[in-house]
Amino acid sequence: MSAQLGTEIAIAYALVILMTLIHAFGIVLLTKLLKLEDGTLRAHRLDFGAFALLISMALSLFAIHTAEIGLFALFYLAVGAIGDLEQALYFSTSAYATLGHPDMAFPAEWRLVGAVEGLAGFLLIGWSTAVFVTDMNKLLRK
């Protein structure tokens, strides 16, 4: 294994660890701020308040994912892999959402980081989906 490959893998995993910490902190904060404990959710009636809660939760999860995408975009900017913020965000969003990498020049020495971002994004989107569906189920099934 070359030194560059080892560095790229180490950096990718460091970013994934940061991304996972952001996600975990965000989910815990979201649970506390929106009072998403079992008893509180089951006490809601299926009314405007419940819909407002679900919308707040969905938007908060979206904000968490946006922060994680931003982490990778800032990395791509910092190492000079991508030249401007809009392109970095576009590339990072495409990788995170597993849409594939857009047609743009991207240095070979950092492409593994983009691939790892895709895997991590896939897992974290699944985590958010599980949290959202579990809480929505508690609201709907008293």
Q: What is the pLDDT of residue 142?
A: 59
Domain locations along the chain = 3-140
pLDDT tens, 7-54?
999 999 999 999 999 999 999 999 888 877 766 555 556 667 778 888
- Candidates 1.10.287, 2.60.120, 1.10.10, 1.20.1300; CATH matching 3-140: 1.10.287
| pLDDT for residue 76 is more than 80 | yes
Instruction: Select from 141, 139, 131 the least CA-distant residue to 40.
Output: 139
Query: Could you tell me the two tokens for 141?
Result: 């099934």
Query: Could you tell me the two tokens for 97?
Result: 């959402």
Query: Could you tell me the two tokens for 40?
Result: 């509180």
At which residue do the structure tokens 């009314």 appear?
Answer: 47
Query: pLDDT category, 139, cuts 50, 70, 90?
Result: confident
Q: What is the pLDDT of residue 88?
A: 95
The mean pLDDT value of the chain amounts to: 88
Q: Are 92 and 74 in contact (CB under 8 A)?
A: no
Query: Could you tell me the two tokens for 70?
Result: 């931003």
Give 15 or 134, the one with higher predicted confidence: 15
Residues 6+ apart with CB under 8 A from 8: 109, 110, 112, 113
Mean pLDDT within 86-103: 88
Which of 92-106, 107-121, 125-139 shows the lowest per-residue confidence on average (mean pLDDT)?
92-106
